[in-house]
Amino acid sequence: MKLTSSLALCLSIATSLALVTPARSQQISGAGATFPAPLYQRWGVEFNKVQPGIQVNYQSVGSGAGVKNFIQGVVDFGASDAAMSDEEIAKVPAGAVMIPATAGEIVFAYNLPGVNGIKLTREVMAGIYLGTVKKWNDPAIVKANPDLMLPDMPIQVAYRSDGSGTTYVFTQHLSKISAEFDDKVGTDKSVTFPVGVGGKGNEGVTALIKQSPGTVGYVEYGYAKDNGLSMASLQNKSGNFVAPDIASARNTLGNVQLPDNLRVWPVDPEGANDYPIVSFTWLLLYKKYPDAAKLKAIKEFVNWGLTDGQSFSESLGYIPLPAPVVEKAKFALSTIE
């Protein structure tokens, strides 16, 4: 009788524990670009409120490391501001599907106390990173900014030290507008600049700018905005100076025709009001996932990001995807299995 009672008690306790212990959550791991990291991390938090059984962990390691981790299969998804090349895709045994998830601007952020609204010509943009424009009161800068009191101060240049899609997009634009830059530096996720100091991630370059007066660096708009950095107006192909903001980025994206493979960069947009350095940033998904539960969770998360998740873009400094881009992205998502 005592044994039977003890067994009944144990069964009762086990049943109670089963009722109160939540099912194990589905974990999704991602890593890559620092450019969209604040948005992807916000997505993870907000999506978990909608789907408590799915937890998304995104590590901001840079596009180069993100692509490498994705190819090696150590993450469930990667992220890069430089869409994978055909050669990189060929290295992924499970195949790869690239989906544009958001877009943003790359800005020239600078630290010049008391100097706001500086304008940079195309020649000066390239010259700063070639090391040929060395001071803030260089005649070429003064000419474009006759109303500003520019200091006789050396220009300190900050750049990304890690493999970066932001660097890829930035150098792609400078190579397009300057034959000298294209010849001496070129376009890649990691390049050798003839001048400057490197910082890891958008976070590292932002920190370098904040701590050293006279410094200029290229970072994603949201990082500059959130850290209160001054941002230059850049001269576009039409010759107009355009300040970075959501409206000017929308102008640029509005003229982009997305191809079937979803890889496109508006390298040097032609619109009169287009901000000149705008880029999509991509989620990297495997064509095939052997784990059905993980496949389902990833599809739900990405679909949510392409729809409800876009509502968090503007507050963090990103551009919500145009409707035609969302439709093409959702179709690409439907092809993974």
The domain locations on the chain are 25-104+279-334, 105-256+265-278
Band of pLDDT at residue 265, cut at 50, 70 and 90: confident
Which pLDDT belongs to residue 23? 53
CATH number of the domain at 105-256+265-278, please?
A: 3.40.190.10
Nearest to 149 by CA among 109, 112, 108: 112
Q: Which of 164, 136, 138 is nearest to 151 (CA)?
A: 136
This model's pTM is above 0.85 = no
pLDDT of residue 13: 43
Q: Is 105-256+265-278 in the same CATH topology as 25-104+279-334?
A: yes
pLDDT tens string 177-198: 999 999 999 999 999 999 999 9
Which CATH number is 25-104+279-334 given?
3.40.190.10
The answer to whether 193 and 175 have CB atoms below 8 angstroms apart is no
Q: Is the pLDDT of residue 279 over 70?
A: yes
The set of residues, in sequence order, having a beta carbon less than 8 Å from that of 331 and lying 6+ positions away, is none
> Which residues are 290's β-sheet partners?
none
Per-residue pLDDT tens digits for 23-51 = 568 999 999 999 899 999 999 999 999 99
